């Protein structure tokens, strides 16, 4: 099985260049980064749950998480200024392509009640935002001794000039996008 980066370079770029009538290989849209976010809202009271979420997300992404503190205190959310309310990882290069390969080929097919990614998930800037409800769809997580199941958000950022270019790129990469916009 060849990797996603090799598939992109050998198959997707020539197809997109022919389909989009790009004059250069460098003009063909590509994925620039992947951002993975997790909010620790309901897990915040249990310290061991937050640590487990950090550990699992580090295993899934292969990179250390960056804590996201609050900017101001909001009493209705029970937060103080500087309190850690989430974590973020930005993947680029080889780690990004490895993560996307596992996401497309292993994690998405294992999701329950999955009927495709809606076209509304692709914004005008060419970014695809996808929510994962259960982190146990990734094969890195051993699901026998999991106490808390958490969800997280994945944003795949491309350098596409338009939404249509981005949709075409994501389809050719193997993302299971729906045919119609519902």
In angstroms, the Cα distances linking 167 to 8, 88, 152, 159 are 15, 25, 22, 12
Is the pLDDT at 15 greater than 80, yes or no?
yes
When the pLDDT of each residue in the chain is averaged and rounded to a whole number, the result is 84
> Does 68 or 46 have the greater pLDDT score?
68
Q: Domains in the chain, ordered, with CATH?
A: 29-173 (3.30.1440.10)
Helix 163-173 to helix 13-20 angle (10° resolution) is 150
Which tens digit of pLDDT belongs to each residue from 154-164? 999 999 888 88
Q: Label residue 140 by pLDDT band (50, 70, 90).
A: confident
Tokens of 142: 């051993």
Which tens digit of pLDDT belongs to each residue from 83-101? 788 889 999 999 999 999 8
Tokens of 60: 């899934």
Which tens digit of pLDDT belongs to each residue from 19-54? 877 888 888 889 999 999 988 876 667 777 788 888
pTM score of the predicted model: 0.84
% of the chain with per-residue pLDDT over 90? 15
């Amino acid at each position: 099985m060849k990797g996603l980066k090799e598939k992109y370079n050998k198959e997707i770029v020539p197809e997109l260049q022919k389909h989009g009538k790009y004059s250069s290989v460098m003009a063909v849209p590509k994925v620039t980064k992947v951002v993975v976010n997790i909010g620790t809202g309901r897990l915040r009271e249990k310290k061991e749950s937050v640590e487990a979420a950090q550990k699992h997300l580090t295993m899934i992404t292969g990179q250390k998480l960056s804590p996201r503190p609050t900017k101001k205190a909001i009493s209705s959310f029970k937060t103080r200024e500087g309190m850690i309310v989430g974590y973020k990882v930005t993947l680029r290069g080889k780690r990004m392509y490895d993560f996307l390969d596992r996401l497309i080929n292993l994690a998405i097919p294992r999701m329950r009640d999955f009927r495709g990614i809606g076209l509304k998930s692709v914004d005008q800037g060419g970014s695809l935002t996808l929510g994962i409800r259960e982190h146990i769809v990734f094969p890195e997580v051993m699901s026998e001794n999991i106490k808390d199941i958490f969800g997280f958000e994945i944003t795949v950022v491309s350098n596409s000039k338009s939404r249509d270019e981005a949709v075409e790129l994501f389809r050719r990469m193997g993302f299971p996008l729906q045919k119609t916009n519902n």
